[in-house]
Structure 1
């Protein structure tokens, strides 16, 4: 049954059924698993999530950039159904299947660059990042890896080491994997450096602290770090330095990939051609799948048996990924992402003109954020929490992020209507007055 694309509150947030489920959750699930909304979903589609009490919530989060093609997108649902009827699992490392090959071929086609590529499939973004590092180390024979300020790369031991933010991701969980170093990111709102100056600062830091690492890993637009878009020229110059010194350049496109930014991959905005691309989230319409795609000679550096995993490239997830890619291309969702970005940015800039607590509006396509500040530019995480909480109570799912917790981020499904976006932004604007 199609879900009506309007916001509707029939109870407070949370309603009685969700409160019952919250109580069950508290007794069954550890407190370390945080939740943004105190509601339990029962249906989702388009730009709406319906909770257990019948409230319809506007989705500005997409399950953290996962349901890019919409929750339960028709092609994805049909592909999953057909594959589940055929077989659910055999393990590609035991008896392989064509769906894995088809996904690899599509990623080899879609990722930036015309060079020969190969792809290996996993389950989560953290797995993809960790295996990209393994591949880079095998290729170069070196061990050091450079990540950047404000970075987020995952919750495994190695990816926590790559991640910059302590609470909640690293606090009390160390020691972390060694041979990880950190370089300064280009953060135009705060460092006020142009691309060349920011690049010089980063490269000088790498050369002074590390020498030549195995790899440099960076999000073309940072996700959890605050949707930071580096100054123009920063990423290509960094990639040029890597190429000159045989350092593997890894683009973490876990959050930015698959049409989210108005291009299939965010690297494309500056003509960036990474050596390796880590992808996940929006790859399979809501099913767990991730990938590392890269230059064939680098991808072949790992010895036979050195890459893989029991569930990596699960056949149902592969079927979903092929359907999600078909949906993106057939329905021109990269174009839709740019339209959404224009609508969001125009509305948020008008709000900024009226409220100087919005220090910055930034992002690309349907990956947009506002950074909230106090007078003088000091981060204001309390305001971010206040506005987000108000939005939640009014039936709008919005996420916060940023090293300082002062950024509101918007990641709507690309199937959301303009009417829902305007309704959500009206609620957000009201949240700044409470």
Structure 2
């Protein structure tokens, strides 16, 4: 909850964005003065010149100077042309957006102060992408400008005014802190993150409900030191990510050490599935073959091997699909009975491997399974929802080597029929795959 009981300002709503059609009015002199941080011409162009002088009205049309560019021409009959509301480019940046992103020398700071004193509402104004001047300054790496804008806001309304401005989110649901984290210079990132944290110690909690949190962004960018610093500053920070992910989903793809840290900070993250497909961090690590990360996750919570995604697929199924042999063997060693887990089609990991004709999986896997003789035979004879055993699917795939591996154990039943009332031998006779029929008729198995 935001200080002062105010709800955080999220991304602008579409209805609000469409309420006022976007009209861009080019003013080259005003844009140039803003880009260069020249306060004197800015002041004149904004109608704040000294007594006795007649400043040029911004809404007047100088010869060849002012051009109207209608981006959305619906209901564009009335346009406010005052300098404090005029947008200077197709990104709908106002004069403070431009100054804030163009520099942070003394002349730019003076210009920002002058603009702010003339039109305080510009500090919160959003451009086409929903960015405020804070976003623009942070994205441009203007540390002094960010600090300056914070001071201006604080002088106006104290900490509440600062927090209200900093917590505003753009169209991507990101605050100025997100923009700062994307900077390439590490020292600038650290300094700006510190300034923003001092101004609002809870800024790492936004967005509140869902979306990309600052921690998620830092981890995805490989900024482990920044991520650790964010957690140290605020242990109550947000762990959320896009599409219902959390930060552990991206950490398992980036770093085992970061994965270990996150499991210490919040072990519950390992059990959360993505919103779109229900994949857990273990599903991702298993499919990518990150063995050490898989072990790390299982050490923290062994039951993760028994959690399926929205399609009923378990981590062992995902490892087989991506041909991650070492991960499959590790899962079987740590959780032997996950070999019998079935997906939404009733398939075990062996069904998946046989269907793919993935013969190289079988030698190391069979060695692990043979350590428990009864389970081995049971798995080999398990039938999926279509009544197929692994042997049926291996015959369909037409890979002789796979068929031979499955025939290695004499307890593999050759007379099991699927829902089409076909045994593996019947299937091979119909398909006439070279070598497979002959092997089944002789009952070949893999030697030794």
What TM-score comes out, normalization by structure 1 length?
Answer: 0.25
TM-score, normalising length: structure 2? 0.24
Higher RCO structure, 1 or 2 (CA under 8 Å, sep 6+): 1
Higher helix share: 2
Considering fraction of residues, name the structure with more strand.
1
Greater C-alpha radius of gyration: 2
